[in-house]
Structure 1
């Protein structure tokens, strides 16, 4: 039997989440609001862990980030003001979207160093890796 470690469980969770979102979105072709998929990358660079998330069409002020222990929750709302005078829509899907994703840091980070930047539809959240190697326990 194959052991389920954090990497595999994260992949399994993401696959399940993608399947649920795909199922929900298939029935929402004519919906005006939906929860969008937020693709991410997590990388290590120069002693930092960096999460990059694609949030196209979202304004900086509509993004919320919450750090809680060793995870980060990203949520965002994107809406477009569309003039509807004399418009006759046959299909309307672009008026409002929301994004939400919780990401577990793959290694321990120093929460005091978490920083976020947003440019051209890409959110980058970075944090320094924790230097705490843990406490060595003496056996009595």
Structure 2
């Protein structure tokens, strides 16, 4: 029982029965995550497209998908439907060349993403359409006629 560590009220895990100065567990984690990363990670390593945000709205007649992806062309996108799974992906490649006095510097860039969505059975997959305007990819997923919400009606009592 003499090997137990006293835990003070502040929750620090410092062994007070030892003559060694051990950092608390929280100080160790702080040091681990706050130290500088090697320069290879601190450089412009992650300059590609991050996973774009999506808004999905349901109306009585359709589902509307809006994806914010500015800076691309509509030809950059690949939208597919396979077995009720809608996939939206893109690959963007960029190459710039700067000519200066005695050397040429070339910079290559490559980024991609893929988002997939399981569509409900109520979507009429033959009528899906997409358009890209001002950095927003819009997809209209119409519902099948039998799945559309019908307006309220009055029922006559006999």
TM-score interval, smaller chain: 0.5 to 0.7
Q: Unaligned 5+ residue runs, structure 2?
A: 1-40, 148-158
Larger radius of gyration: 2
Match of 2:81 in 1: 67
User: How many residues end up aligned between the 2 structures?
Assistant: 104
Match of 2:136 in 1: 122
SS for the counterpart of 2:91 is strand
| Structure 1 residue 76 corresponds to structure 2 residue 102 | no
Q: Which of residues 88, 97, 101 in structure 1 aligns to 2:111?
A: 97
| Unmatched segments (≥5 aa) in structure 1 | 1-26, 134-140
- Displacement of 1:50 in angstroms is 1.0
Distance of 1:126 and 1:101 partners within structure 2: 16
Corresponding residue for residue 53 of structure 2: 39
What is the CA–CA distance in structure 2 between the aligned matches of 1:28 and 1:75, rounded to whole Å?
27
Higher normalized helix content (fraction of residues): 1
Q: Check conservation: 1:70, 1:105, Cα contact below 8 A.
A: yes
CA distance in 2, matches of 1:103, 1:75: 12
Greater RCO (Cα-Cα under 8 Å, separation 6 or more) = 1
Distance 1:41 1:131, change over 3 A: same
C-alpha displacement of 1:57: 1.4
How much has 1:30 moved relative to structure 2?
A: 3.0
Whether the aligned pair in 2 keeps the contact of 1:34 and 1:98 (CA below 8 Å) is yes
The residue aligned with 2:13 is none
C-alpha deviations, 1:80-131, integer Å up to 9, x for none?
Answer: 3422323779xx7x83321211022356200111000001111011121123
* Partner SS, residue 71 of structure 2: coil
